Structure 1
Amino acid sequence: APERASAPEAPTPRAEVLAAAFAASLDLPSARADDDFFALGGNSLSAVRLAGRVRGALGLPVSVRDLFEAPTPAALDRRLSEGTTPGAADDAPSPPRPARLPLSPAQLRLWTANYLGEHRPTYLTTLALDLSGPLHRAVWERSLDDLVARHEILRTVLPYGPDGPEQHILSPAEAPLDLRFLELAPGEERAAVEAELARGFDLLTGTPLRARLLRTGPERHLLLLVVHHVAVDGHSLGVLRGDLRHAYAARLKGEAPRWQTPAPQYADHALRLARRRGDERDPASPAARDARHWAAELEGVPARLTLPGEPPAGEDDGRAGQVPLSWGPREHRLLEEAATRYACSPYMVLHAAFASALSHLGAGEDVPVVVALSGRDDAATDGLVGCVTNPVVLRVRTHGAPTGEELTARVRRGLLAAHAHQDHPYERVLEHLDRDRADRGRGLFTVACSYLRTEPPRPEDTDWPGGLRVTPRVLAPTHTDQDLLLQLRDHRTPEGAPAGLTGELIHSLAHCTPTTALHLADALRAKLHELAGGPGEGPGGRALPADGGR
């Protein structure tokens, strides 16, 4: 437990507001002026949310870097008083929508991949809910219609217009939901789910959502929402699940849902982002500053990592394999202890271990890995459904046999700088590198890493009205545009203690053999053990027993 000063200084009114924002961002009842944000369980993602809350509450600019360097309300209050935070708050009203709605940078990137990939089932996101108890089909149908009516992005088509691809937002009547009810015999569920995950979307002519309600047994069903990533990100799935529960409760009583607030819409967010970035041709604009940062950061970066082993033979059809990952509470605790010791987040430790494992297996000493930053640094995005994440390239140099402290410091510097320049569109990064556009979908930066923190289920999340029990299910993708994608999820006890880590190492069957993926999974685990050593230890750091420390 963090040691507290015996007589902490009295907090200022602003420090008390900051403490309230700390608590709200971490779902805690309260926080004190000397509470360390990361010791309370904060991470990079919740730091982004906290920065947005502070901007909304105080109208003052706060960055993720500020929170790492001043992680308590009192310290952040002093930093704000010293005027060391750059930038300015953006509290201007949303601009009016133009007659033609262009795609956001994230939409354009995913639209291009969808078009050039001939609508492959890549970049699919799923919300899968196991339902146990009495089911009312008509209620589900009306509830899902309510969801589509509430969020414009679920009924948006992206055709190619006279000036390029554009957004066409359909009315609810023009965009009937693709919903099917399927009765399955025993043993048919897996094939039915895989069939849905193997079907892509044509974003030029159709909406990006389909729903399937699969009956798997007496009073047992699986609700499967398949959504193209162009319309959602990970945060969006939580918003959709909460809105779906609200609509279901109302429709079960024969009423239309009464929403507490109007939903923020993605088209308005995209316009606000474009206004904030400014014109890249203006050297003083944020867009130009971001472009200069990424040009310098990625100068001479290798376009593609060399993976060990012979490449698989056969055509690249986008199919993916996966290596399941499961680490126990002890390893989870050691990961967090390492993060505390190295003054970074657990994700930074994971990323350092991943880069080190790749380098160890022959990928070189300059390791670029794609990281998806949330982009939700504004309270207005809390209830927003849409693709707000923006990929950035985190370049980690592993030369010189760095200690764990040195390697995580390199990751920390790179990730904090990436957060400060995360608005720069990923597609513009690729254009600046001036590589062959035809090779861009597979030839540049084909290794990615993500770390998601899952919250323990609350009764209101799992116990729905009408005696229905709802349990979320994680489905790994069946297709990928990446050579390698590391996905790790953080699990907690109801008290917030580390409960273990689960995930997958997803690999392209056309570019990475299952044997190579297994070797990388083993190397990743070994590197995490090494980083659990003391600050002065490197490859010789202490290791856990072969059982994984469970």
Structure 2
Amino acid sequence: GEIDAVLAAHETVDFAVTIGHRLDSGATILAAYVHAAGGAVVDTAELTAFAERSLPAHMVPTAITVLDHIPLTPVGKLDRRALPAPRLQAKEFRAPDGLFEQLVADVFAELLGSAEPVGADDDFFELGGNSLIATQVAARLGAAIGARVPARVVFEAPTVAALATRLEPLKGAGGRRPLTSMPRPEHIPLSLAQQRMWFLNQFDTASAANNIPFAIRLTGALDVAALQAAVADVIERHETLRTVYPAVDGTGYQVILPAAQAIPDMTPQQVTTSELPGWLAAFALGGFDVAAEVPLRIALGQLDAAEYVLAVVVHHIAADGSSVGPLVRDLMLSYVARSSGVAPELPPLPVQYADYALWQRDVLGDEGDPDSVAAAQIAYWRATLAGLPDRIDLPADRPRPAVASGRGAVFTFEIDGRIRTRLEELAQEAGASLFMVVHSAFAALLARLSGTTDITIGTPVAGRGEA
């Protein structure tokens, strides 16, 4: 509505409507449709410039299409389905100019996986960016210029040139110290996420709630010796896979073992097809005692001479969902090299997880220091969450058990295209992401079902700002 009001205020326009339009690439753009006032000629470039003077960058339409007539339904309302496809102006590639534009273009291309070069006038969101990647963009740029760059800036200035202009004044303003390899103290502390995992694990070492299992079916002639060597390569390369977490005076610490002490035996275990589901389940659901054993299990099941299943379980204290891809990649690259009789040539890792834990503690400081970042953040959340009920009382068809079973289920349903389009339009109008809109709807639903507005919704995030 705000966008339409601005466009309709131009002297050549008597009607305007703006919708979210999904491109073939999957990205969503703001597409505006206008009708000329009394025979006037609408100059879409001039109208875009007019909108830019009154609207934030993320609310300026990507495409403006002039309508010969306004399509209406039989009851006289706008027929959105009859609107033509927006007329997109093919952007002429303009090479990034200067260090800042080149920096932004390179970061966009890297994080969006763009096969084509990114130009100075290209828009982050039109290229397929979203709010999660925007946080990575901000962190990556901040690290490059030595400053804190808020993710909001990416929404406000989404083109390469505009974002580069916003970065220049920030250069050297100060940011977090860079994440680099660090000297190791006698007792390497846990990261804060590991501290939580360690406590939960030591509370119940038999629980599989924080296991991350996956299995890979291997068909054909398998070189078991090469696979054994590849597993050793990966464990040598990634310290976190060979780390145990014993306690010293009740506090968990990281102890990195030599690779030779953490390599599993990859001798194939004979398993029939009917036994396979049970074999995998037992393997995946076994607990870890991270204080005494490394957080990784790997086993090789053999179904027949040319059929194997590689089963892997990593504890959450050492990995998360984003870790599975790099882990499998490194294992496969090492296997290909070892099966050819050579050692893998993987580039050395600039940092290990222990370096990250030390860096995080240094950046946040001691929570006992009132001037530290940690103390300020804890104070903020303590105030924000004050008075929060232990749980929200939702109507349920079965009582809450005295002891949580850990069992769950998934309910799947479809949202039709019309509602999806309106959700995207609402997100565009509000300068928000689709996730934010759906999250808000979920919060409103929980509030109505429980009769309370004091609700906290947990959302999993990767916390991977640093490269």
Q: Could you report, residue by residue, the CA deviation over 1:22-77 in whole angstroms, capped at 9, with x for unpaired residues?
A: 11111003223333323322223322332233234333432222223322222222
The residue number in structure 2 matching 1:111 is 198
* Farther off after superposition, 55-64 or 243-252: 55-64
Q: Distance in 2 between matches of 1:195 and 1:174?
A: 24
Q: Could you report, residue by residue, the CA deviation over 1:55-100 in whole angstroms, capped at 9, with x for unpaired residues?
A: 3433343222222332222222222234499752423754411111
Q: Distance in 2 between matches of 1:315 and 1:179?
A: 41
Superposition deviation, residue 302 in structure 1 = 2.5
Work out which of the two has the higher radius of gyration on C-alpha atoms and give 1 or 2.
Answer: 2
**Change in CA separation of 1:12 and 1:295 when aligned onto 2, cut-off 3 Å:** farther
The residue number in structure 2 matching 1:27 is 113
Picking from 211, 216, 227, the partner of 1:124 is: 211
1:253-272 superposed matches below 5 A: 253-262=340-349, 264-272=351-359
Q: Distance in 2 between matches of 1:84 and 1:301?
A: 40
Q: Could you report, residue by residue, the CA deviation over 1:266-310 in whole angstroms, capped at 9, with x for unpaired residues?
A: 111100111111233444332233223212322222232223225
The residue number in structure 1 matching 2:230 is 143
SS for the counterpart of 2:412 is: strand
**Change in CA separation of 1:187 and 1:25 when aligned onto 2, cut-off 3 Å:** same
The residue number in structure 2 matching 1:157 is 244
Picking from 369, 383, 406, the partner of 1:319 is: 406
**Change in CA separation of 1:176 and 1:186 when aligned onto 2, cut-off 3 Å:** closer
SS for the counterpart of 1:34 is: coil
1:299-318 superposed matches below 5 A: 299-312=386-399, 316=403, 318=405
Superposition deviation, residue 259 in structure 1 = 1.6
**Change in CA separation of 1:70 and 1:290 when aligned onto 2, cut-off 3 Å:** farther
Superposition deviation, residue 353 in structure 1 = 3.4
1:361-440 superposed matches below 5 A: 361-362=449-450, 364-379=452-467
1:76-225 superposed matches below 5 A: 76-83=163-170, 88-91=175-178, 94-162=181-249, 164-177=251-264, 179=266, 181-216=268-303, 219-225=306-312
Picking from 18, 21, 33, the partner of 2:104 is: 18
Q: Distance in 2 between matches of 1:203 and 1:346?
A: 39
SS for the counterpart of 1:372 is: coil
Q: Give the count of matched residue pairs.
A: 379
Q: Distance in 2 between matches of 1:365 and 1:86?
A: 39
**Change in CA separation of 1:147 and 1:16 when aligned onto 2, cut-off 3 Å:** same
User: Identity of paired residues, percent?
Assistant: 37
Q: Distance in 1 between matches of 2:238 and 2:179?
A: 23
SS for the counterpart of 1:320 is: coil
Picking from 138, 143, 160, the partner of 1:73 is: 160
**Change in CA separation of 1:378 and 1:331 when aligned onto 2, cut-off 3 Å:** farther
Q: Distance in 2 between matches of 1:85 and 1:329?
A: 48
Picking from 340, 348, 354, the partner of 2:442 is: 354
Superposition deviation, residue 171 in structure 1 = 0.3
TM-score by length of structure 2 reads 0.72
Which residue type is aligned with residue 114 of structure 2?
A: L
**Change in CA separation of 1:122 and 1:332 when aligned onto 2, cut-off 3 Å:** farther
Q: Distance in 2 between matches of 1:256 and 1:109?
A: 37
The residue number in structure 2 matching 1:50 is 137
**Change in CA separation of 1:39 and 1:220 when aligned onto 2, cut-off 3 Å:** farther
TM-score by length of structure 1 reads 0.62
| Unmatched 5+ stretches in structure 2 | 1-22, 24-28, 30-61, 64-88
Tell me if structure 2 keeps the 8 A contact 1:79–1:85. no
Q: Could you report, residue by residue, the CA deviation over 1:441-500 in whole angstroms, capped at 9, with x for unpaired residues?
A: xxxxxxxxxxxxxxxxxxxxxxxxxxxxxxxxxxxxxxxxxxxxxxxxxxxxxxxxxxxx
* Farther off after superposition, 187-196 or 141-150: 187-196
**Change in CA separation of 1:169 and 1:280 when aligned onto 2, cut-off 3 Å:** same
Superposition deviation, residue 208 in structure 1 = 0.5
**Change in CA separation of 1:181 and 1:345 when aligned onto 2, cut-off 3 Å:** farther
Q: Distance in 2 between matches of 1:218 and 1:340?
A: 56
Normalized per residue, which structure has more strand? 1
Q: Distance in 2 between matches of 1:346 and 1:365?
A: 22
Superposition deviation, residue 101 in structure 1 = 1.3
SS for the counterpart of 2:457 is: strand
Q: Distance in 1 between matches of 2:419 and 2:129?
A: 15
SS for the counterpart of 1:323 is: coil
Which residue type is aligned with residue 343 of structure 1?
A: G
SS for the counterpart of 1:143 is: helix
> Residue 294 in 1 paired to residue 356 in 2?
no
The residue number in structure 2 matching 1:276 is 363
> Residue 59 in 1 paired to residue 59 in 2?
no
Superposition deviation, residue 218 in structure 1 = 6.2
Which residue type is aligned with residue 449 of structure 2?
A: L
Q: Distance in 1 between matches of 2:158 and 2:180?
A: 31
Superposition deviation, residue 11 in structure 1 = 5.2
SS for the counterpart of 2:202 is: helix
Q: Distance in 2 between matches of 1:287 and 1:42?
A: 31
Q: Distance in 1 between matches of 2:172 and 2:214?
A: 38
SS for the counterpart of 1:261 is: coil
Superposition deviation, residue 324 in structure 1 = 5.1
> Which of 1 and 2 has higher RCO (CA within 8 Å, sep 6+)?
1
RMSD across aligned positions (CA):
3.1
Which residue type is aligned with residue 105 of structure 2?
A: A
Q: Could you report, residue by residue, the CA deviation over 1:160-218 in whole angstroms, capped at 9, with x for unpaired residues?
A: 12362211111012223264633332332222222222211011111111012233466
The residue number in structure 2 matching 1:478 is none
| Unmatched 5+ stretches in structure 1 | 380-550
Tell me if structure 2 keeps the 8 A contact 1:179–1:212. yes
Superposition deviation, residue 248 in structure 1 = 1.0
**Change in CA separation of 1:87 and 1:58 when aligned onto 2, cut-off 3 Å:** closer
Superposition deviation, residue 21 in structure 1 = 0.9
Q: Distance in 2 between matches of 1:142 and 1:97?
A: 28
Tell me if structure 2 keeps the 8 A contact 1:62–1:85. no
Q: Distance in 1 between matches of 2:459 and 2:271?
A: 38
Q: Distance in 2 between matches of 1:303 and 1:350?
A: 24
Tell me if structure 2 keeps the 8 A contact 1:110–1:229. yes
The residue number in structure 2 matching 1:448 is none
